[in-house]
Amino acid sequence: MRAILRILFWAAALVIVAVGALAWWYVYRPLPQLDGSAPLPGLHDAAAVDRDAWGVPHIRAGSLNDLVETQGYVMAQDRLWQMDLLRRVARGELSEIFGETALKLDRQYRTLGFRRAAERDLGLLDDESRSSLEAYARGVNRFIDQHENRLPLEFALFGYKPRPWEPTDSLVITGYMYQTLTNTWTAELNRAKVSERVGADRALELFSQESEMDHFVTGGRDQAGPRHRKGDEDDEDEVKSDKVLKADSRNPVRVPSPPPAQEPGAVRWPGVQDWLASESDGVHWGLGSNNWVVSGAHTASGKPILSNDTHLELTV
């Protein structure tokens, strides 16, 4: 009996050691280097990277290009797979790693043509901007070269390695961000179609040209700008977002029925999908950025303060 227990003990110990070794190799080994030095041949002078208690890097460099190249290296340390994923989305190359399930999305982004736009825009940039993009790419590629055999875990899971970073990769991601922040184009197309059929005046009955977010928060009604129409004074503060009709070409929001009593908690996937879609629409229409300014007459330094708060959905 003792021999059996001894064998089981050593077998369990070997399994634990093996699991620990795999976790170290695939998870901990690729983690960012926080101490020491790393050679970046493109730098003209040494650059320093200090991470605070939250792991946020603070970079000091002698020139803009040195700063940007170091930033590329540090960004690749922290976010290389996310960077690769975003450029693949924008270029329409997700199906290369995810298969046919991503073909529809790839077709959408290839139709938008961010890759072609990035290649065109790179040739239109001034020398300083182009040099910065090239320096950033050098930093990213230096990290990829140094860590070819210890890339982040996601690359091992999907069985591929990232290709070198190009200046246009930064530009296509900018296009992707632009697309995520301008997703009202379907509503604008619907409005145009309705206006074409029934006329602009009748279309106004269906599509509000303004909302409560179009008005200044403070400053008096005389500063509300051209969108502020005469006669709005009485009900301006009573406008509610749910009273402003917005067109959307996507499927209408459907609230899923509760599961049958005989199946408590058994919400099938279609019901979950409907709920997620309706919640996504609610979050989407509730998004909006804001900003405010404090006059220097009200600050200790005598200088004005500008603050802005940009709202984005959780997407990762």
Dihedral Cα 242, 248, 251, 257, nearest 10 deg: 0
290 strand-pairing partners: 309
Q: Are 143 and 73 in contact (CB under 8 A)?
A: yes
Q: What is the pLDDT of residue 61?
A: 94
223: three-class secondary structure by DSSP = helix
Distances (CA, A) of 11 to 6, 14, 15: 9, 5, 6
Stretches in the chain below the pLDDT threshold 70: 9, 22-30, 183, 209-288, 312-316
Q: What is the pLDDT of residue 63?
A: 93
Question: How many other C-beta atoms lie within 10 A of the C-beta of residue 68?
Answer: 21
- Which residue intervals of 24-93 are DSSP H helices? 64-91
Tens digit of each residue's pLDDT (9 = 90 or more) over 105-143: 999 999 999 999 999 999 999 999 999 999 999 999 999
- Tokens found for residue 288: 């909006």
- The Cα 191–Cα 206 span in angstroms is 9
Note the pTM of the prediction, 2 decimals.
0.63
Q: Are 42 and 131 in contact (CB under 8 A)?
A: no
CA angle 206, 211, 217 (to 5 degrees): 170
